[in-house]
Structure formats: structure tokens, C-alpha cells
Chains A and B, each alone.
Chain A
Amino acid sequence: EVQLLESGGGLEQPGGSLRLSCAASGFTFSSYAMSWVRQAPGKGLEWVSTISGSSGGTFYADSVKGRFTISRDNSKNTVHLQMNSLRAEDTAVYYCAKMGYGSGWFREGYDYWGQGTLVTVSS
């Protein structure tokens, strides 16, 4: 059974940093792309970042480019999102999501989701 468990959310001041983690199990982690998707209070879903499984290529939404860094530790089946220079508009529930296999990872959308971790940016 695929399981994704996010952690690391909390309250942080504007300009601060947080590191989110997502522990994965139930599949061959290193072969699959992983993404972070967020949802601001009362708003829709927004793609944040993806890291491929095959090449480890990384991709970012314009809204977080240069401030957030996605990484993965295949030995620990974990994906991280390092969030720097946080802004009030980064306040959201952050979901970890599993994507597809190998070089065609984008064809299969997000097939499994974690329960999310809340990030609040406020002074």
C-alpha cells in the first residue's frame, strides 16, 4: 500500500525558512517522480515543484522559483521541500504527491497524495 506522510509544517515569520519532508512507502521510490502541491485557505490547488525519479531533474512554479528547493533522498525514501524567504502568500496546506515512472513521469498525473502539512507565514 502506497503511503505518503508529510511533516515539517508550522508557523514561521515572513522572511524565514521551513523544511518540509515527505516519507514514502509501498513503492520503488527512486523510480518515481514526486511533487509538492499546495492549497491556500479557501483556494484551489497549486502545483509547486516536481523532482523526477530517473534523472532527479527539478522543476518549479514561477511563484516559488529561487526561494524553494526540492530534493530527494532515495536511500531514505524521502522527498524534501526547503522553503526560504517565506511570504504571507506561501501560507497553505502542502501536499506531497507521487507521480509517474521514469522519463515519462508526467503522463500519469498525481496518483497518490499525502494528507498534507499546514504552513502558516505570519508575524
Chain B
Amino acid sequence: QTVVTQEPSFSVSPGGTVTLTCGLSSGSVSATYYPSWYQQTPGQAPRTLIYSTNTRSSGVPDRFSGSILGNKAALTITGAQADDESDYYCVLYMGSGISVFGGGTKLTVL
């Protein structure tokens, strides 16, 4: 069973830059996994940030960017703001119609 890995938690200072990653328990993430990223605050539905590795969803500020770094997908937030404090989830497409979510990263801005 393939597991998608994310850092359980991360903290960033206001105005700072943070990179969250999304990996595989076995193997490397590449663009063919079409990684996407979602932001969720408690009690709310997820919000789409990035799809297909690095394409920003409509209305998402360019402070959010996606990439492949080494063997992982990455979400970079520059100029972190207080309302970026959220849970962040990545999803990888495994083929044959199967998608797998990572466990999520709780981002604290302080």
C-alpha cells in the first residue's frame, strides 16, 4: 500500500517563506503523479491551491507556488500571512483512477 507522506506540522514567521513537501513511502514523486494542493481551515471545506504540480487555481495569490523538489512535490508559501495558518493536503494520482491524499500538514504562523 503506497503512503503519501507530509510533514505533520510546520511553523513559519509572518512574512517568511515555508516549503511543505509531499512524498511517497516508496519511490519518487514526478509530474506524472499530477500533484495538487489544498488548504483547509477548521470546519470549512477544502480550498484548491495548486493542481498539476504548479498551476495555481483561480483566485489563488502568487504567494503560493508548486514544484517538484528532488523526489517530492512541494508547496512554497512566500510572505506568510496570519490567515495562511491552516491544514495543507497534497494529493497524488496513482493511475487507474486512484488518488491518494497525504496525511496533511498543520501550518502555524507565529
Instruction: Tell me the A residues contacting B by CB distance below 8 Å.
Output: 35, 37, 44-47, 50, 52, 57-59, 61-62, 95, 106-116
Kindly identify which residue among A52, A109, A111, A113 contacts B45, using a CB–CB cutoff of 8 Å. Answer: A113
Most chain A beta carbons < 10 A, residue from B1, B45, B46: B45
Q: A107 — which chain B residues lie within 8 A by C-beta?
A: 34, 51-52, 93
* CB pair A109 B36 closer than 8 Å: yes
Instruction: Tell me the B residues contacting A by CB distance below 8 Å.
Output: 1, 34, 36, 38, 40, 45-48, 50-52, 57, 87, 89, 91, 93, 96-104
Most chain B beta carbons < 10 A, residue from A37, A59, A95, A115: A37
For this complex, 13 residue pairs linking A to B, each with C-beta atoms less than 8 Å apart, are: A44-B102, A45-B46, A45-B89, A45-B101, A47-B98, A47-B99, A108-B34, A109-B91, A110-B91, A111-B48, A111-B57, A113-B46, A116-B45
Could you tell me the distance in whole angstroms from the C-beta of A96 to the nearest C-beta in chain B? Answer: 10
**With A111-B51, A112-B48 in contact, is A106–B34 under 8 Å at CB?**
yes
Cα distance A110–B91 when bound, in Å?
A: 9
B97 closest partner in A (C-beta): A59
Cα distance A52–B34 when bound, in Å?
A: 17
* CB pair B48 A106 closer than 8 Å: no
* CB pair B38 A110 closer than 8 Å: yes
CB < 8 Å A-B pair total: 68
Could you tell me the distance in whole angstroms from the C-beta of A45 to the nearest C-beta in chain B? Answer: 5
* CB pair B48 A110 closer than 8 Å: yes
Could you tell me the distance in whole angstroms from the C-beta of B7 to the nearest C-beta in chain A? Answer: 13
**With A57-B97, A59-B98, A107-B34 in contact, is A44–B103 under 8 Å at CB?**
yes
B87 closest partner in A (C-beta): A44
Kindly identify which residue among A45, A106, A113, A116 contacts B93, using a CB–CB cutoff of 8 Å. Answer: A106
Could you tell me the distance in whole angstroms from the C-beta of B81 to the nearest C-beta in chain A? Answer: 22
* CB pair B38 A45 closer than 8 Å: yes
Q: B103 — which chain A residues lie within 8 A by C-beta?
A: 44
* CB pair A47 B101 closer than 8 Å: yes
B96 closest partner in A (C-beta): A59
Q: B101 — which chain A residues lie within 8 A by C-beta?
A: 37, 44-47
Q: A108 — which chain B residues lie within 8 A by C-beta?
A: 34, 36, 51-52
